[in-house]
Amino acid sequence: MKGFSFLFLSTISTFFLTSAAISTISATGNITDAGGHTIVSDDQNFVLGFFSPTNDSTNRYLGIWYNKIQIRTVVWVANRETPISDTSGVFLLDDQGVLMIVNRSNSMIWSSNSSVSRTRNNRVVAQLLDTGNLVIRNENDIDPENYFWQSFDYPGDTFLPNMKFGIDFRKGLEKYLTAWKSVDDPSPSEFTNGFDSDGYPQILLRKGSVLQYSSGPWNGLRFSGMPNLQTNDIYTFRFVYDDDELYYTYELANSSIVSRMILSPEGSIQRLIWIEQKLEWNLYLTAQMDNCDRYGLCGAYGICNIAESRACECLRGFEPRFTDEWRTTYWSNGCVRKAELNCEGGGDGFVKQSGVKLPDTRKTRFNRTMNLDECRAECLKNCNCTAYANLDVRSGGSGCLLWFDDLVDIRAYSVDGVTSVVRERNFTNENETKDWELPLFNFNTIADATNNFSDDFKLGEGGYGPVYKRHSVKSNQGLDEFQNEVQCIAKLQHRNLVKLLGCCIEEGERMLIYEYMPNKSLNSFIFDSRLRIIHRDLKASNILLDKDMNPRISDFGLARGLEGSDTKANTKRVMGTYGYMSPEYAIDGIYSTKSDVFGFGVLVLEIISGKKNRGFRHADHDLNLLGHSNRVISIFYALINIVSVGIQVWRLYKNGKHLELIDGMMKGTCVESEVRRAIHIGLLCVQKYPEDRPDMPLVILMLGSEIPLPEPIQPGFYTDRRRPQEGESSSSNYLEWSSSNRLTVTYLQPR
């Protein structure tokens, strides 16, 4: 083992703090703030001493920070809650083997409260290890099991490599993170992040007693709610759970890497890596990736899918508890069973749910040896059992985890989720197919005809037979959307259009079968239609690019047709993607061709800026502004995104700085006047009032000519669908983006 560095004065010599000679210790072995003393770990990586969190602060704390990193980064603080107001602090190891901090009047500011058992003639030392761990131990006993005290048992906001984050059942020690109140105040804030050992363990992030985030249970490979916790070349990680202890730990793969995990003052769990070239900490991972990671967003039996336009859906066999509330995107009250379980009657079955984050495990029981069949039988035996799953997904799966409560905090992943099985009514007799206006093909027929979907039969490559478009299997895509797409395309039949022959829904596959076009001219199927189509979900991910980068609009799952002279229509079911939805559609469900113009405008601005008009994170804090009305909160929350890009562009535009918007990759390769014009047109398309937006033919004319453009006004979102009349304040009832980049709410008070 490598050498150790002991508690010593500055870095010149080593001092042993002995129990026999207390006066000597106090005289020579202490660390004084006034003297600027520090101790440094053997490998020079960590340093311990007194510090102030910021230059402005006069509060003094004893802490440990990285020695070689230019930006002082504190990883541990002793007197978090009891700063010393001057530089009189002294840090010492007393004759009882207790580390303490005293101030000018010799009052104890902080104490390790350690108790030491000593053998004869054995000196007790305090030492800062290479790991950044400050320990108290017998001088000649380096076994970590025998440390009398270690700072790793009392972490602050930082989880360092080699630290055991979790619970030591033998010592009754819980090692969890508590965030700093702010960058200049290390005292513990309301945010805590630690293991909860009720049921099968999971890591829970709380604000006070309110759950914010759950890691999901360990599934043998990773926490089921952290799909991005993958084997990597930066660190290795490990989870241990036995009778003695429960912990998660990681080690850096290469000692030249500097990385730490923190719970930030804002309550975000982050992994950071030091980038020496840039002299800054780089964010490598955050546990809370998106809106779906907000604990219980979809309520009981709801499932969150961030890829969907509306994140929450009910699990199969469930329906929203409160339909109206659900529609406004307030989902927390969750879903209820469409049909009650029939436990005594033995009519219950299970529905397999793949690729998901496992629900909250606080009300679970587990058995490491049972297999899945035994697990199922066990669940059926108990009428309160709501679901079961394998405990460990490795080598085909083993162990049994049983849920005994409402299933909360489930989310869908596109890759690599875990399979759990949700108890349901027996669905084997249910008829999934609806009224299709098209012939339904049998899966086997199609499999046969395409040689089991062999590559030779890929679109355009085969020499004969029908063309198959294979619809991807999305675990939670509603049948409704698929059906709508089919019917929309079916209605668009025209001699210039490719004919849809039929479809197939079987074995989780959804396929559309088109007439074969020998010259691959499948692409024009929407543009020649007489039917005016409002797409309702125009967004970057729905614009497909062919091999020549020609854009093709896809996904007509939400499209609606307008016939004859209709110019707008109304829907009770607002669907689409927030960020691209026009205000009048998002709020009132009114859609028109101008709704797609809005979506188009957002797209234009996104293309120019290279930035996505989306991102729900940390919306929590903003929501607090709105007080208690859940309905208002959820609408507000959904609309934050609508305004963001438009307002940012508007601000630059108004200050004549809109060229700053241009994505770095485009700079130098574009014609400024063209880009300026495109931004201008983009802004016109995202105007608040549909009547202020140009229609598509005009947009095309504007883009392709030099005709003068009307001046845009500030885009935004209004709660009053009426255009303000002459004399009315135009800023009333608006949500506005304030200069501090936070959304503020202005209510018009009646006079």
Binding interface with ligand NAG (CB under 6 A): 26-28, 30, 32, 55, 90, 92, 102-105, 107, 111, 113, 254, 256, 349-350, 367, 369-370, 374, 382-384, 426, 428, 431, 433, 447-448, 451-452, 518-519
Distance, CA of 353 to CA of 318 (rounded, Å): 13
- Annotated active-site residue 537? The verdict is yes
**Least CB distance from residue 349 to ligand NAG, whole Å?**
3
**Least CB distance from residue 380 to ligand NAG, whole Å?**
9
**Least CB distance from residue 422 to ligand NAG, whole Å?**
12
Amino acid at 55: N
Beta 400-403 vs 335-337: how paired, if at all?
unpaired
Give the number of other Cβ atoms within 10 Å of residue 210's Cβ. Answer: 9
- Cα atoms in the Cβ-side hemisphere of radius 13 Å centred on 502: 10
Give the number of other Cβ atoms within 10 Å of residue 300's Cβ. Answer: 23
**Least CB distance from residue 168 to ligand NAG, whole Å?**
15
The helix/strand/coil state of 442 is coil
Residue 370 or 498 having the CB closest to ligand NAG: 370
Residue 117 or 382 having the CB closest to ligand NAG: 382
Residue 77 or 649 having the CB closest to ligand NAG: 77
Whether the Cβ atoms of residue 110 and residue 62 lie closer than 8 Å to each other: yes
Phi, psi of 489 (to 5 degrees): -65, -35
The position carrying tokens 């923190």 is 262
**Least CB distance from residue 190 to ligand NAG, whole Å?**
19
Residue 85 or 146 having the CB closest to ligand NAG: 85
Residue 14 or 426 having the CB closest to ligand NAG: 426
Distance, CA of 268 to CA of 177 (rounded, Å): 11
Residue of 181, 135, 512, 475 whose CA lies nearest to 306: 475
Residue 451 or 731 having the CB closest to ligand NAG: 451
Residue of 498, 744, 516, 501 whose CA lies nearest to 625: 744
Give the chain's radius of gyration (CA, Å). 31
E-state strands within 257-390: 259-263, 269-275, 280-286, 302-304, 312-314, 318-320, 335-337, 348-357, 364-367, 387-389
- Which element (helix H / strand E) includes 491? helix 479-491
DSSP 180-192: EEETTEEEEEEEE
CA–CA distances in Å: residue 48 to residues 11, 32, 378, 440, 522: 11, 11, 54, 73, 69
For every residue of 360-382, which 3-state class applies, written as one string?
Answer: CCCCEEEECCCCHHHHHHHHHHC
Residue 107 or 493 having the CB closest to ligand NAG: 107
Structural tokens at position 545 = 């690019």
- Which element (helix H / strand E) includes 76? strand 74-77
Residue 446 or 526 having the CB closest to ligand NAG: 446
Residue 209 or 431 having the CB closest to ligand NAG: 431
Distance, CA of 460 to CA of 227 (rounded, Å): 36
Residue 155 or 579 having the CB closest to ligand NAG: 155
Whether the Cβ atoms of residue 156 and residue 77 lie closer than 8 Å to each other: yes
Residue 40 or 383 having the CB closest to ligand NAG: 383
Distance, CA of 420 to CA of 309 (rounded, Å): 24
The torsion of the CA quartet 558, 492, 692, 736, rounded to 10 degrees, works out to 10
Residue 35 or 610 having the CB closest to ligand NAG: 35
Distance, CA of 294 to CA of 633 (rounded, Å): 15
For residue 436, what are the contacts with CB-CB under 8 A and spacing of at least 6?
483, 486, 503
Structural tokens at position 8 = 């010593």
DSSP 398-423: B-EEEE-S----EEE-SSS-EEEEEE
Whether the Cβ atoms of residue 511 and residue 503 lie closer than 8 Å to each other: yes
The position carrying tokens 């489930």 is 410
Amino acid at 489: I
CA–CA distances in Å: residue 122 to residues 29, 83, 127, 512: 17, 33, 15, 81
Which of 537, 566, 620, 622 is catalytic? The answer is 537
The catalytic residues are 537
